[in-house]
Amino acid sequence: MSHLNPSLAFTAALYRLDRSNTRAVDPITSLTVLTGEQRSEGLELGLSGNLTNAWSVMAGYALQDAEITKTTTAAPSGRVVPLVPEQTFSLWNHYRLSKEWAAAVGVTHQTDMFASISNAVELPAYTRVDAAVYYRISDEVKMQVNVENVLDETYWGTAHNDNNITPGAPRSVRVSLTSMF
């Protein structure tokens, strides 16, 4: 970890992961099958901390390549490992407006990915925006309102096979009240 300044940290990692005896769900039968061997290679970058006394950020970026490296009856070598986007990005900004009020906004982006080891069905890329407002009622009581998927983006978050695909949540609002005693 390297510090850009005392309150802002930057991290970076390169990785290569080789796995054997990997398993996946067969896209036709929905049974678990052996997929042989896989290799995942990538780069991850992170930035977190305070830009000013009032403004804090958390950001992350990942570039990854994951493929099946040994042919089995379930999948040939060279297929992309399912549910692994090539790129992901996230950014969360939190700004303290006063002693009582704060606001935050964040963006998450993910490139397309395959639903299963067949590599026949692709879940499309998406970008989602989230936001929050915070109010300190007293030193002991805080209120928070979170809005997830502010723009009501339609997206597909995960899949169990090529025809059992889970949509991402539509716009949702959550209100919480926290008391410390």
- pLDDT at position 144 is 98
Domain positions in the chain are 2-179
**How confident is the model at residue 149, as a pLDDT?**
98
Average pLDDT score over residue span 69-89: 91
Instruction: Write down the residue that tokens 């970008």 correspond to.
Output: 127
**In 2-100, which ranges are E strands?**
2-5, 8-25, 32-50, 55-70, 87-96
Express each pLDDT in 1-14 by its tens digit: 444 578 899 999 99
* Tokens describing residue 137: 């009622």
Quick one: fold of 2-179?
Maltoporin; Chain A (2.40.170)
pTM for the whole structure? 0.86
Task: Please state, in angstroms and rounded to a whole number, the distance separating the CA atoms of residues 181 and 179.
Answer: 7
In whole angstroms, give the CA distance from residue 110 to residue 97: 30
Residue-wise pLDDT for 82-135, tens only, equals 999 999 999 999 999 999 999 999 999 999 999 999 999 999 999 999 999 999
User: For residue 3, what pLDDT is reported?
Assistant: 47
Q: What is the pLDDT of residues 21-60, one digit of tens each?
A: 888 877 778 788 887 899 999 999 999 999 999 999 999 9
Identify the bridge partners of residue 171 per DSSP, sorted by sequence position: none
**Residue 172 token pair:** 């949702």
Q: What is the pLDDT of residues 141-153, one digit of tens each?
A: 999 999 999 999 9
Matching residue, tokens 């025809």: 163
Q: Which residues pair with 79 in a beta bridge?
A: none
**Residue 146 has what pLDDT?**
98
pLDDT given for residue 4 in this prediction: 53
